[in-house]
């Protein structure tokens, strides 16, 4: 399955902490705009997930996005 895993400061996987996503783009990018949010480039969209619930909270359809970043003014930059 497609998912993100989380590592601790020593590089060890945090047991039980994963995030199920759609198919990632092969040159994927991740941004963490807030403590409990994660932006991920997937094959056909950019998706924002709530890390507490693991649920999708925002998405933007886009063919093969390569980069995503939440800007200080709250806008989201996609490439």
Q: Which segments of 21-75 are extended strands (E)?
A: 30-34, 37-41, 45-50, 56-61, 68-70
pLDDT tens, residue by residue, 41-72: 998 999 999 988 989 999 999 988 989 999 99
In this predicted structure, the answer to whether residue 74 has a pLDDT above a threshold of 90 is yes
Residue 30 has pLDDT above 80, yes or no: yes
Residue 13 has pLDDT above 90, yes or no: no
For residue 43, report the phi and psi dihedrals to the nearest 5 degrees.
Answer: -55, -45
């Amino acid at each position: 399955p497609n998912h993100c895993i989380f590592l601790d400061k020593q590089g060890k996987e945090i047991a039980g902490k994963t995030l199920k996503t759609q198919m990632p783009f092969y040159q994927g990018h991740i941004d963490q705009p807030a403590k409990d949010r994660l932006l991920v480039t997937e094959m056909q969209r950019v998706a924002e997930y709530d890390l507490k619930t693991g649920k999708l909270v925002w998405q933007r359809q886009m063919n093969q996005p390569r980069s995503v970043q939440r800007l200080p003014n709250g806008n989201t930059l996609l490439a």
